[in-house]
Amino acid sequence: MTLKSTLLASIVAVALVTLLFGASISYWHALSKVEAEMQAAIAVGSRIAANAVDDAEESADPSRRLHLLIADFNGDRHLRAFWQDTSGRVIAASHPSTSARAVPDWFHEIFRQPEQMIAVDLPTAFDGLGSFHLQTDSRNEVAEVWDDIWNTLKILGVLCMLVLGCVYWLLNRALQPLSALAGALNAIHKSSDAPRIPETGPSEFVEVYSGFNAMAERLQQTEAKNRRLTEQLAAVQEEERADLARDLHDEIGPFLFSVDVDATSIAHCLDNGKEAEIPARVKTIRESVWHMQRHVRELLGRLRSDGFVDIGLVDAIDNLIDFWKTRYPAVSIELSAPSHPLGKELEQTVFRIIQESLSNAMRHGRPAKVEIEIDHSVEGILVEVRDDGLGMNSEGGAGGSGFGIPGMRERIDALSGEFEVGPRTSSSGVIVRAWLPASGAAAADRTSQQQQNTKRIAADAQA
């Protein structure tokens, strides 16, 4: 059932109850009115009759006087007068007025009053002429009540139709904004780009609209951010793959080739009796294998970057430093970090910040020196990455256009920390500073523990 029909049904119900209440009050009022009218009519009628026959004492013709009196009551609305002789035969009777409107019998039955009859005392001059009677008749009064009720009902009917019409129109107008809201919700369900609701109309709705518009705006921004992050992820993965392919080709390829050459030359030495050269060849093969092992380990470290915690934060950062040093041997990279563990959640965030900041410094800043510093205290961890490169605006003011810095900020926000990146004051270059409070990390650790527990329980259930 719609809100509109519920409201209309409630209003109609209230009107009906009021009507019933009014009808019962009208009933009691009409009943007592009919009764009072009958009492008054008979009292007035008997006084008129008594006065008339009093005057008739001197009348020479009492019988004519009675006929005239009967005629006086012709057309009376509530009384019937009649004259009976001594044997009880009706000699003459008045003709009460008849109502123009027909009253239904059931209505007459409800309001009808029992007929009252009185005999008017006739003076001695009327002796032997019989008796004179007055009798009430409520039919005309009931017809009047019927008329009153009928008229009232007509007025009430028109009034009710008017009120209901107005209420319906008002409800339609008042509820119109809800359809606008429902339409907007449906549209936003399909796409967050859906048009916003104009913030006009009743103030209560304007508040709802502005809340809705703000929510839609937020949703659109979040979706755009997600899209950008997904694109960024794909780009990073692509770059990483190309990097790995290049590394495999450049670093492993030559050593494999040299192993192949050395192995072939050992066979030649054996064939040509040059056994003395074999140990030197074996040595170079072992050196090549050692180089390949080192590169494979480094590649594995990069491929399993989430698993860096297995080897410890400091070793993981050392791997990172090695990675960049092989590419930029001239850059000096210094690390100052506590050797004790910091907690899984914090270590992962610290590692990501250093990874991104170091990569930014090397890729965008062309520095001579990068300093990485991790300070651990009971309140939390302070991470600083400083380079002496070209600075943030070195690439035409691009600062902040990528995803690395927002990504770092989001990670730190998740741990209720603080983050800033900007130019160094003491020299050229950029400083990245992140503060991770111990409380935020503890909360994050609990969440991650809970997630692991949930995963474990789900795995157990599947098993």
Ligand X SMILES: Nc1ncnc2c1ncn2[C@@H]1O[C@H](COP(=O)(O)OP(=O)(O)O)[C@@H](O)[C@H]1O
- Residues in contact with ligand X by the rule CB under 6 A: 360-361, 364-365, 387, 389-392, 394-395, 398-405, 430
CB nearer to Mg ion: give 115 or 395: 395
Judged by beta carbon, residue 205 or residue 351, the one nearer ligand X is 351
Which one of ligand X, Mg ion, none interacts with residue 258, CB within 5 to 8 A by kind? none
One symbol per residue from 183 to 212: x for binding Mg ion (CB under 5 A), - otherwise; what is it? ------------------------------
Distance in Å, CB of 365 to ligand X, minimum: 3
Rounded to a whole number of angstroms, the minimum distance from the CB of residue 355 to ligand X is: 11
CB-nearer residue toward ligand X: 195 or 423: 423
**HEC profile of the chain:** CCHHHHHHHHHHHHHHHHHHHHHHHHHHHHHHHHHHHHHHHHHHHHHHHHHHHHHHHHCCCHHHHHHHHHHHCCCCCCEEEEEECCCCCEEEECCCCCCCCCCCHHHHHHHCCCCCEEEECCCHHHCCCCEEEEEECCHHHHHHHHHHHHHHHHHHHHHHHHHHHHHHHHHHHHHHHHHHHHHHHHHHHHCCCCCCCCCCCCHHHHHHHHHHHHHHHHHHHHHHHHHHHHHHHHHHHHHHHHHHHHHHHHHHHHHHHHHHHHHHHHHHHHHCCCHHHHHHHHHHHHHHHHHHHHHHHHHHHHHCHHHHHHCCHHHHHHHHHHHHHHHCCCCEEEEECCCCCCCHHHHHHHHHHHHHHHHHHHHHHCCCEEEEEEEECCCEEEEEEEECCCCHHHHCCCCCCCCHHHHHHHHHHHCCCEEEEEECCCCCCEEEEEEEEHHHHHHHHHHHHHHHHHHHHHHHHHC
Task: Output the residue with the shortest Cβ distance to ligand X.
Answer: 402
Choice between 132 and 323, CB closer to Mg ion:
323
- In the complex, the smallest distance separating the C-beta of residue 399 from ligand X, rounded to whole angstroms, is 4
In angstroms, give the least distance from the CB of 356 to Mg ion.
6
392 binds, among Mg ion, ligand X, none (CB under 5 to 8 A by kind): ligand X
Question: Which entry of Mg ion, ligand X, none binds 398, CB below 5 to 8 A by partner kind?
Answer: ligand X
| x/- track of binding to Mg ion for residues 332-371 (CB under 5 A) | ----------------------------x-----------
Tokens in use for 234?
């794909």
* Between 391 and 404, CB nearer to Mg ion: 404
Q: How far is the CB of 409 from ligand X (least distance, A)?
A: 9
Q: Which is nearer to Mg ion, 197 or 361 (CB)?
A: 361
CA angle, 54 as apex, 51 and 56 as ends, to 5°? 115
- In whole angstroms, the minimum distance from the beta carbon of 395 to Mg ion comes to 11
Query: What's the closest the beta carbon of residue 351 comes to ligand X, in angstroms?
Result: 16
400 binds, among ligand X, Mg ion, none (CB under 5 to 8 A by kind): ligand X
Q: Which does 430 bind (CB under 5 to 8 A by kind): Mg ion, ligand X, none?
A: ligand X
Question: How far is C-alpha 205 from the chain's CA centre?
Answer: 13
Measured from the CB atom, the residue of 37 and 387 that comes closer to ligand X is 387
Chain position whose Cβ is nearest to Mg ion: 404
Residue 453 beta carbon to Mg ion: minimum distance, rounded to whole angstroms: 34
Q: What are the tokens at 40?
A: 């008054």
Pairing assessment for the beta strands 380-387 and 418-423 based on DSSP bridges = unpaired
Q: Which residue, 95 or 363, is less far from Mg ion as judged by CB?
A: 363
For Mg ion, the closer of residues 224 and 235 by Cβ is: 235
Cα–Cα distances (Å) from 455 to 29, 63, 106, 343, 451, in that order, read: 80, 121, 81, 20, 6
Residues 112-171 that bind Mg ion (CB under 5 A): none
List, in sequence order, every residue forming a beta bridge with 167; answer none if it has no partner: none
CB of 360 to ligand X, least distance (A): 3
Residue 361 interaction partner, one of Mg ion, ligand X, none, beta carbon < 5-8 Å per kind: ligand X
The partner in contact with residue 401, picked from ligand X, Mg ion, none with C-beta cut-offs of 5 to 8 angstroms by kind, is ligand X
Q: From the CB of 363, what's the least distance to ligand X, in Å?
A: 6
Window 391-430: residues binding Mg ion (CB under 5 A): 404
| Sites of contact with Mg ion (CB under 5 A) | 360, 404
